[in-house]
Chain A
């Protein structure tokens, strides 16, 4: 569900950031009140826990594995607002330090996964478990339902944001500039997977962990009686959330009744290729289901059906490409950019987890080494780098000219070269997953974008010039933004990034939480890796998927309890050395004339590129 840069217009990114802001303010103030001086260690440890468990692959029935988000779990054990901050921190670290999810799209990703997901999930949990005791099975049921619905609410918002792009942002010829699929495709494409796979998994993980926490008598579930008044307040929140959900739909359906969108509107939403295929489909369905009057199904139902099929085709394509790539080149696969639902591995889920975790550890060390190499970018003040790169990424988002996107990519390559980053390594890291994934995503848009046909395949399909343009745009934009982001990470020690974040007026409390989270991610990666290795060393026969799932649930509950204990220990260790609620920062940045010149250069280049584009 992590949206990379290039899929959303910078305008959407801005709107989503603005939408997330008030939630952050509320969460921030509440957390400071409830956790007071423990805010940094508690949020830091629990965020690190979430980061690491987000990497765990859980075996699913049918032999595949998938990973859960764990955000609803965080909301249940820590509280919804604590989860908002905790997940925002995790997403920030994923975007800034691991290149997972866009930098500009951070607001949108946070809105979906750090705000909608825990709040909606927690709301459902409260509804189901209201009035139950801490050991009640209803709490487990609530956790399952919260996990299931929370992640689906988040997925729905993601599909709204993506689905709105072609409607709102296209060229005068109707070529979509960002994500190419309209609501009618994006919604089912994203929701099917979440309703059928990711949702049940999230529910299962959340429910299982809560169950084991209850069994071990953890204070994490023992506390937190649900007051009656609180229930009412949550209903109010639920109502607001439902309104928010309905708004974008209403916008789209304006003037027409639900489910009766005509052909024109659907065309406007960016879908144009189905009629022929759909007619065939109707004929095909006619035989097995004669009594249902399928020939008369409305256009909308038909479109949704076809969108399902389209989504399935894309999923299969991604799966095939992913399988081929992983088979070929195991080592260069960046750890954070993983296939969400990857295929069955020969050695089972333990090996897969061990490999994922050790790769993350290695990449952390490598990034640490590389960022200290003495190249051009490494020598610049980190604040200048952050500002410069964000300018470039915004430019990449705003450009409407392919040649200029090419220029920007050349600039990125040149910067890598003068910063002593191996171009081959850089290209592999940048091009490997997300742009490839994007290319696969973009293929159907070659056919679906209305425009002048330039190439016919069979009788009913034709590639349109607008389709080609739109696909190339998406690919180029994603590649540009990603390479800029990766370059920034590669050339900057993450502690410098932290210091510059503080300088850019991010509250020092947040920066401290981010710092502590990052630090303990590595400890937890080690611990988790050892845990899986120990499990493997004791494994003679293969365990059943069911036994492995149970074991994972227990292990996660134990790790969660350990995070709690450890956060208290760290708090004491801080207290012992004079901590009194505010961390005094070590700021040792000094920008010289050269830094300022470089920043001016970056700003000038951005301005020139945009001027050439829009003059």
Chain B
């Protein structure tokens, strides 16, 4: 049997002060999977990504990555830390946190240089990452002269540049215009097709449909309430409603007011047929 990329066993995590963030999480992610983490605000998605990236550590339970325990102590070993950090990259939700360098170029070079990639090779990879996201023209800009969408792309480039095999993305399409979203989704689809692993958190069910082969739903009790193929869950309206992923509300279509759930493209198509518009 192949070794999983991540194996999470009985994991619980509480913030300082004892506020629970995750409760008894068990999951296994294999190479080449594209996993969507969904759940309402405060259900623990970001925290789980940080645990998987070895930035914070479980209060209870354990995480193995590629067969090695991922602990604070293990990461103090320089060789292991370098191997793990080179293999796994995390794109933070807040691009302003991720972009701390004086210019875009230094930002994109930060990862490879810290991870010991030789200078010329690092420069080559950084150039490639900028090209891949179509932002080569931003190279000499300071971060405060970037738009929200540009910041997001730079933060992704700054992780891609050290060629991780596992990408953790926290709300990747947040604040992106539809065109940039499309570019990013195309990039991620081809990236996964190359045999890489993707785990991303999102609120957008459209993105789950387009990008993921698997969905993990975190409930309000900070536990996993569902884990499986997206198509099995996204059609279950009652379930989505119960986990706060959709919201029942009233709105107007032409002169007709109706009441339904908010993830509803298919329903509208049906409505329109039904009403004969």
Contacts and interface: CB of A to CB of B under 8 A. Distances in A.
Does B bind A?
Answer: yes
Interface of A: 41, 44, 364-365, 368, 372, 493-495, 498, 515-516, 518-520, 522-523, 526, 566, 569-570, 572-580, 583-584, 586
Contacts, number: 88
* Closest 9 pairs between A and B when the two form their complex, measured CB to CB: A522-B144, A578-B114, A584-B113, A578-B115, A577-B111, A569-B97, A578-B85, A495-B102, A572-B55
A523 B50 CA distance: 24
Nearest to A499: B102
Interface stretch (B86-94, B184-192, B263-271): B86-94
B144 A580 contact: no
Nearest to B84: A578
A372 to B, nearest CB: 8
A554 B82 CA distance: 42
Given A569-B92, A569-B94, A584-B114, A576 B55 contact: yes
B113 A574 contact: no
Contacts of B145: 365, 368
B142 A580 contact: no
Q: Classify the secondary structure of A's interface with B.
A: helix
A107 B82 CA distance: 40
- The residue among A516, A523, A572, A573 with the most chain B CB atoms within 10 A of its own CB is A573
Nearest to B97: A569
A520 B110 CA distance: 17
A365 B101 CA distance: 17
Contacts of B82: 578
A178 to B, nearest CB: 36
A372 B158 CA distance: 24
Which range contains the number of B residues in contact with the other chain?
35 or more
Q: Classify the secondary structure of B's interface with A.
A: helix
Contact of B142 (A368, A574, A576, A578): A368
Contacts of B100: 41, 44, 516, 519-520, 570, 573-574
Interface of B: 50, 53, 55-56, 78, 81-82, 85-86, 89-90, 92, 94, 96-103, 105-106, 109-111, 113-116, 140, 142-145, 158-159, 162
- The residue among B101, B103, B116, B144 with the most chain A CB atoms within 10 A of its own CB is B144
Contacts of B114: 577-580, 583-584
A574 B111 CA distance: 8
B35 to A, nearest CB: 18
Contacts of A44: 100
B78 A515 contact: no
B144 A498 contact: no
Contact of B159 (A365, A522, A566, A577): A577
Contacts of B103: 495
7 contacts: A522-B143, A526-B144, A574-B110, A577-B110, A577-B162, A580-B81, A583-B114
B65 to A, nearest CB: 14
Contacts of B106: 495, 586
